[in-house]
Amino acid sequence: MSTPLHPWNLAPKEAIALQTQLAKRLVLSDRIDPVRYIAGVDIGFEDQGATTRAAVVVLQWIPSSAPNFSVVEQVVHREPTRMAYIPGLLSFREIPAALGAFAKLSTKPELVMVDGQGIAHPRRLGVAAHLGLWLELPTIGIAKSRLTGTHAEVGEERGDWEPLYAGTEIIGAVLRSRARVKPVYVSPGHRLTLETSLKWVMRCLGRTKLPEPTRLADRLASRRDQKRRSLDKR
DNA sequence: GCGACAG
DNA sequence: ATCTTGTCGC
């Protein structure tokens, strides 16, 4: 284990410089083990933002079965929020809490899906890419909106997609994950190609526009779900 | 200088 | 992200 430790509480200027350096370490070819478990990660906030809540859900991948997955583990981790949200520096705000959640996990996933960008980032280090480097695991970023890049209009049917460009470089895909619904932005984070990333996202699509791993993590991390579960207890 | 800007 | 009620649609 040679974890590339680095401080999280950096000033914006230093964080930006670090991103540029870390992005060089990304592996954008397929270096993934046979998939048995897929994790979904998402972050939410409480106390008007003072507390960060990280949620990780692990699904078992079951080929040739319907559905193809079953939840095997879910973890929630809370800690004080460290820094404000700054576009482009999301990972420094969210990853520390995400690592706390991963530390509580007993299942080791072969693939991690993250709510946010992979390399579709101004310096090619979105939260999914950064987390992949830290965990040394294959990661995919699935964002609900665009951070950077340009693309053509996407067809209206499920599965339609268009490449996301930064100049002439393809940094991700804009995927219509549900017919006639706002598309999602898919980009590899670490140890995957865009093609393989898209394949896994499409495989994990259920009835909604988000793939099951991040949809379930989203639910666990959301304020709304906290309310729902406490009401159910009564 | 003026917008754009993951969650 | 979060604050919030109703409302349109399958």
For residues A121 and A116, what is the distance between their CA atoms, to the nearest angstrom?
10
What is the pLDDT averaged over residues A204-231?
82
Q: What are the structural domain ranges in chain A? A: 28-144+159-233
CA–C1' distance A208–C9 (Å)? Answer: 15
Per-residue pLDDT band for A133 (boundaries 50, 70, 90) equals very high
Per-residue pLDDT band for A222 (boundaries 50, 70, 90) equals confident
CA–C1' distance A154–C7 (Å)? Answer: 28
Tell me the per-residue pLDDT of A65-123, one tens digit each, with 9 for 90 and over: 777 889 999 999 999 999 999 999 999 999 999 999 999 999 999 999 999 999 999 99
For residues A229 and A55, what is the distance between their CA atoms, to the nearest angstrom?
15
% of chain A with per-residue pLDDT over 90: 87
Tell me the per-residue pLDDT of A141-152, one tens digit each, with 9 for 90 and over: 999 999 999 999
Tell me the per-residue pLDDT of A18-55, one tens digit each, with 9 for 90 and over: 999 999 999 999 999 999 999 999 999 999 999 999 99
**CATH top-level class for A28-144+159-233?**
alpha beta
Asked whether strand C has any atom less than 7 Å from the CB of A182, the reply is no
**pLDDT number for residue A232:** 46
In which residue are the tokens 């078992």 written?
Answer: A60
CB burial readout A121-153, b (16+ within 10 A) else e = bbbbbbbbbbbbbbbebbbbbbbeeebbbebee
* Residue A115 is assigned to a ligand binding site: yes
The token pair that represents A62 in the structure block:
């079951």
**pLDDT number for residue A4:** 56
* Residue A42 is assigned to a ligand binding site: yes
Per-residue pLDDT band for A178 (boundaries 50, 70, 90) equals very high
| Closest to A45 measured CA to CA, from A193, A221, A186 | A221
